[in-house]
Amino acid sequence: MNPTTAPATLDFDACYRAASGRDARWDGRVYLGVTSTGIYCRPSCPARKPRPENCRFYSTAAACVAAGFRACKRCRPDAVPGTRDWDARGDLVARAVRRIRDGAVDTVGVAGLATELAVSERHLRRMLIEEVGASPLQLARTRRAHAARALIEETQLPLTDVAFAAGFGSVRQFGDTMREEFGVAPSALSRRSSGSIRGGEQDPDGPTSDERPKLALRLRTRAPFAAAGVRAFLAAHAIPGRDEIATDGTTSHAIDVPGGTAVVRIEWPEVPEVSRQLEGGASTVGIPVTITLPGLADTMPAIQAVRRLLDLDADPGQIEAAFMGDPVLGDILLRRPGLRLPGARHPQEFALGTVLGQQVSLAAARTLQGRLAEGFESAVAGSGGAASGFRAAPDPVLVAAIPVEDLREQLGLTRARAATLSTLASALAGGLDLGPGADRDRARAELLALRGIGPWTVELVAMRALGDPDAYPAGDLILRRALGVTSDREAIALAQPWRPYRGYATQYLWSDFLEATARKEQS
């Protein structure tokens, strides 16, 4: 099996060769369970490799735990950042895994997840066990356990707060799951940092920004991480009222969570090239963030939203293997190692903002998006009180309720653009799903059927809101200039070797072309 492909069906011989060679490229994508010890490891674990007859390979950590294994204390398989393998697929199982990763089982339960996916609970459970090796509850439990361990190590939160912040329903459930996953009680796990900041007691009428709980921690991602490129992207797309770009290099962003609106502050000047060398050769970078939360129960939704925003589950080695040697992308890859494909923090906001950005400059688009956030802020999320100076995402229901002519005047749009925005808002209010767990083919078709929305808008939404790493806006003017072609057909033909990562290829081409253009203008 090629390490650039998703390990849906694991090839034992290929997996064993990777484990025997301690190949860190497979970490987080394949897990080794050892029957003679009852432990599961990363393929790059430095421990002596077991005999083949004692090895079992799994595509998720949850499958290892479901099979009776516990995490290795030496290689710490739970410390490896996530994988985007499941994002490259659009089938039922991949959609379910993405939704569980986003906390669907915590918020709507297995029954609610099955309803979202239009299948029965029994069918969903059967499909996940057959392909992933774990049930929806087991996947959710492992997700909580890994999140709890990270909070234990990174913060000084009391263990009771860690339990509820990680999504556990009770302290007893927390303790039982941690013992099952790691073989020790939560109190026996080491604490490495004093990074947690706690707010004061919350007022019953609603917390002020000073009273909201804060967490300061480092979010792990695989090295290299192109911090300057990601920060530049966020700065270029900053929306008034939703983002702040400070002169000291830090950036702050409103993040919408079930309890209201959180704010994440990213300390870009403190991002190291490589801050931790995991045993076996896998290097990770720690992105220092401080998250101001409506409540501790919003911890995991906020962290997942930040990970999606910064694309922290990307595997640069995987992308390098896919593009290295390519006549178009090879040199760009060497100049820009670790470039990421930032995702949308709020899918509906992004879709509405993309319509506002059609055929206008980026600066004009930001201004229009700021007006949208100011005029149509979500009443539910906003009532909880975001941190001072930030707004909740715009509510499509409010946008859809206003007459097109009034919408045109309030935002300063052409009538055609206002009509398209209203049409999209009505579709979103009516249930059009553009989140990471959506049926991508259906979402693309429903978007394309809306008057005023074309392939460019659809693919941009697919890339950043739906989280499709293969989304490809072939008609984009800058993309075509970077490729040196004049038609969509030529752009599509050139991109065929880049599948299933055409979205990353687009990001590389955009970034390189715009920087080259800026250098020419300065010279």
Tell me which residues are annotated as active site: 41, 476
Q: For residue 488, what are the contacts with CB-CB under 8 A and spacing of at least 6?
A: 455, 474, 475
Contact at 8 Å (CB) between 239 and 353?
A: yes
Range 375-408 burial, b when 16+ CB lie within 10 A, else e: ebbbeebbebbbbeebbbbbbbbbbbebebeebb
Q: How far apart are CA 145 and CA 138, in angstroms?
A: 10
Q: How far apart are CA 483 and CA 477, in angstroms?
A: 10
Contact at 8 Å (CB) between 133 and 59?
A: yes
For residue 118 the two structure tokens come to 């239009």
Q: How far apart are CA 249 and CA 269, in angstroms?
A: 6
Say how many C-beta atoms besides its own lie within 10 A of residue 516's C-beta: 11
Contact at 8 Å (CB) between 148 and 159?
A: no
Cα–Cα nearest to 394, from 446, 353, 451, 339: 353
The 3-state DSSP class for residue 212 equals coil
Hunting for tokens 């490129």 — which residue is that? Answer: 229
Cα–Cα nearest to 300, from 396, 167, 427, 411: 167
Alpha-carbon Rg for the chain, nearest whole angstrom, is: 23
Q: How far apart are CA 207 and CA 345, in angstroms?
A: 23
Our measurement of the distance from residue 472's CA atom to the centroid of its chain's CA atoms, rounded to an integer in Å, reads 18
The 3-state DSSP class for residue 476 equals coil
Q: How far apart are CA 418 and CA 176, in angstroms?
A: 54
DSSP code at position 24: G
Cα–Cα nearest to 79, from 189, 230, 216, 1: 189
> What are the Cα distances from residue 152, in Å, to 193, 464, 482, 507?
9, 31, 46, 35
Question: Among the residues of 25-120, which ranges form H helices?
Answer: 61-66, 92-101, 104-116
